[in-house]
Structure 1
Amino acid sequence: MRVLARICCQVTNSRRTTYGYDKRLEVHGSKGMLRVSNVLDNLVERAGSNGFGQAVAQAFFLERFDAAYLAEMHHFVGAVSSGIAPAPNAEDGLRAQLIADAATQSWREGRPVEIPR
């Protein structure tokens, strides 16, 4: 497999914040950036003499990810019904585990760890 872009990814996730479930993802690469932030109760932002503010994040992960879970279920049922292999597949799951294992090893050893191919 040929690498087309160099990337750096940071994932932050917590189930124990004062404002509920928190997740963030940023992927920076030589060709751009992707960012996923928390889902808020609404998209209204207010500004005044005390600065800027916005709605609180939805507290429960099922609220935040209901559309994603529904889309996953529709895809899986459609794939199985039509005989097409669902995606992601077992190989994708294995790659995710290898990435998580390398991240843990990197944290423990305080050094970069290459992800096996």
Structure 2
Amino acid sequence: MTTATAPSGVPGPNTLVTVTPNSATVQWGEVPCLQRNGEITGYTVTATNSDGMEEGTASVDVDARQATISGLTPSTQYTVSVAAVNSAGTGPTITLPVETPGQGEPSPRTKGRARRAGTKG
């Protein structure tokens, strides 16, 4: 009997973020097939501020591969992380630094370099 394990890979390389003063939208690609360790059932997306406090979380259907986290604070730096979920648990995260613009500032579409959590980038 094979024991199920959580995904060992991170969501795909095409992670990008669109930010407004109060929200961040993240899109990502699939976890590589050999790193899924079973069927991916969804994704967890979290925005954490520079003090380490979670300010927003979203659970996303497997087919969506996009999430918007609302209720963020303007002019604040966040780390947005995405992790795949299967029946055995949650896999490692891929993270992207995000800074929300201040109220009245333009809302740029920011392409950032995502990295696997725990790596230097």
TM-score band, normalised by the shorter chain?
Answer: under 0.3
> TM-score, normalised on structure 2?
0.25
Which has the larger Rg? 1
Instruction: Give 1 or 2: higher helix fraction.
Output: 1
Instruction: Give 1 or 2: higher strand fraction.
Output: 2
